[in-house]
Structure formats: C-alpha cells, structure tokens
Amino acid sequence: MKTIILLHGAWVTPKSWDPFKSYFEAKGYRVLAPAWPGKEHTVEEQQKNPDPSLAKLGLKEIVDYYAKIIEAEPEPPILIGHSFGGLFVEMLLDRGLGKAGIAIDPAPPKGVFALYPTAAWALRLPLTTAFGWKKIIRWPLHHFAYAFTNTLSPEEQEKAYREYVVPESGRIFWQAAFAPFNNVLNVNFQNPNRAPLLIIAGEKDHIVPAAINRANFKKYQASSAKTDFKEFPGRTHWIIAEPGWEEVAKSCENWIRVNA
C-alpha cells in the first residue's frame, strides 16, 4: 500500500485536506495529514485559544518537522502540499525525501518573483502588523475571501472561513518576504536527483497567482529531473476544497499512477 502525506498551508489545519484524504483513502492509499507544530488541536479550539508556541514558529522548524515524519516511514511516501505546504514539498524533494511530490498553488521558493499586486494585497495584514514576526495573527473574513475564495459566493466564503481558518504565525510571512536575503526558502532548481514533481496552479488564485507558479515551473527546466505543470481554469487558492476539487484530486491520482 502506497502512503501519501498531505502538507497543509498557512491559516488552516489538516482539516483542509479532508476531501483529498477521503478521496485517496477510497482509492486504497494510506493517507497521513500531520498538523504543523502548535496546530494539532481542532479548528474551534485554535480559534478560541491558539497555541502560544505559534508566535515563534518558523518555516525551517516546520520543514524539519515534516522531514522527521517522512524519514520515519518504511518506504518513501508521496508528498502532496498546498500553499506553504506545496513549497515544503519542493524543499523536501530537494533534500532527497519522498517518492514523488505534488505542489498545489505553492508559495514561491527563493529566486521566484512573488511581488504580484494581488499577492501583495492578499498578504497585507501579516506584513503590515507591527512586530508581526513574533506575533500570532488573526485573519478577518474579508482578507480570507479575497486571498483564498475570491470566486465563491459570500455564503460559501463565510462557511469556509468558519470551518477552516485559524490564527497563524506571523513569523513565516516575514521569513518569506525576506527570502531574497536569507536561505530559509532555498531550493536547488538544478538538482538532477530529486523525485518527480508536479506543480498545480489555479487560474484565479490571488495569493499565489498562476504566473508565480509558471515562473516557478520554468526555474526547474534547468534540471533533468522530471517536472510537470498543470493549470486549472477558474480555480482559486481554495482549489483543494472548493466546488470541483474532485477534478484536481483525480488529476493528482492520474499523475501519481505514472510517476510514483
């Protein structure tokens, strides 16, 4: 039985993977969806009382945490990540971990231009909060709606917000913003030995525009390692749970059958 590890992104918990987890379990896969350190509790608990440790949680700590989980597996698992989780998939594959990886709307690694207008506007809160690099930040509904669910109805946006969104570490956004000046988000795009990678983009994504994902994909063309790209028309950043997520999951499944 093949194992899939699902890596969630910022502002959410492993609950965001519930549709994908059920889908792949029904296909016979063993599926794990570990929470980031400090985000192990339910959405309701985190909304009321976020873990104080989140204020100090950084990107390296999260990637190292996932690396330990992957290394403990008896066989290299398949990695699927969304948003920051997608970036983590790229970084972990670069470390030689994982049998294959899928990065869905991944945050950009160092070296990929990220200052697109919609992305900057979507991230304005964590990047303008005073001393946000050492704070836990709460995201208002209208920020989430613009960044994640911009094509959904107001009712669908509010429902997703209430069911999935939790407070987040401000530190991770500052580390990403200053990626050109540090090595936290380094990926060796030319690595010829990494496992196959699929990058998926949503055409209507505001926070990680499809153009960022295309630029990310192009960086990997310097490597002989297999890299594929697929863009889904009309999809937002909430591509893994919005209406039509089944098509995305099926596409991932088809790619896994060939490459893992």
DSSP conformational letter for 103: E
| Contacts (Cβ under 8 Å, ≥6 apart) of 166 | 11, 12, 13, 39, 43, 46, 47, 50
The pLDDT value recorded for residue 56 is 93
Whether residue 129 is predicted with pLDDT greater than 80 in this model: the reply is: no
The pLDDT value recorded for residue 24 is 98
The pLDDT value recorded for residue 236 is 98
Task: Return d(Cα 152, Cα 106) in angstroms, integer.
Answer: 21
Per-residue pLDDT, averaged over 197-209, amounts to: 98
Classify each residue of 141-174 as buried b or exposed e, where b means 16 or more C-beta atoms within 10 Å of its C-beta: eebbbbbbbbbbeeeebeebbeebbbbbbbbbbb
pLDDT band at 178 (very low <50, low <70, confident <90, very high): confident
Whether residue 123 is predicted with pLDDT greater than 90 in this model: the reply is: no
Per-residue pLDDT, averaged over 144-150, amounts to: 97
Question: Could you tell me which of 42, 79, 45, 41 has the C-alpha nearest to residue 63?
Answer: 79
Angle at 182 between CA 181 and CA 188, to 5 degrees: 110
Task: Return d(Cα 179, Cα 197) in angstroms, integer.
Answer: 22
Rg (the chain; Cα; Å) = 17
Whether residue 87 is predicted with pLDDT greater than 80 in this model: the reply is: yes
pLDDT band at 134 (very low <50, low <70, confident <90, very high): confident
Specify the number of domains making up the chain.
1
The better pLDDT of the pair 82, 133 is held by 82
Question: Could you tell me which of 27, 50, 36 has the C-alpha nearest to residue 7?
Answer: 36
The better pLDDT of the pair 4, 124 is held by 4
Per-residue pLDDT, averaged over 62-85, amounts to: 98
Residue given tokens 């913003």 in the structure block: 177
Q: What's the CATH number where 220 sits?
A: 3.40.50.1820
- Domain interval for residue 233: 3-259
Per residue in 155-164, pLDDT tens?
A: 999 999 999 9
Task: Return d(Cα 84, Cα 91) in angstroms, integer.
Answer: 11
The pLDDT value recorded for residue 131 is 65
Q: Which of 28-37, 118-127, 246-255 has the lowest mean pLDDT?
A: 118-127
Whether residue 128 is predicted with pLDDT greater than 90 in this model: the reply is: no
Per-residue pLDDT, averaged over 138-155, amounts to: 97
pLDDT band at 130 (very low <50, low <70, confident <90, very high): low
- Partnered with residue 193 across adjacent β-strands are none
| Contacts (Cβ under 8 Å, ≥6 apart) of 93 | 79, 101, 194, 195, 197
Can you state the angle between helices 59-71 and 84-94, rounded to 10 degrees? 60
The per-residue pLDDT of the chain, averaged, comes to 96
pLDDT band at 180 (very low <50, low <70, confident <90, very high): confident
Task: Return d(Cα 180, Cα 160) in angstroms, integer.
Answer: 33
- C-alpha 223 chain-centroid distance: 23
Pull the structure tokens for residue 206: 């505001």
Task: Return d(Cα 130, Cα 100) in angstroms, integer.
Answer: 39
Whether residue 49 is predicted with pLDDT greater than 70 in this model: the reply is: yes
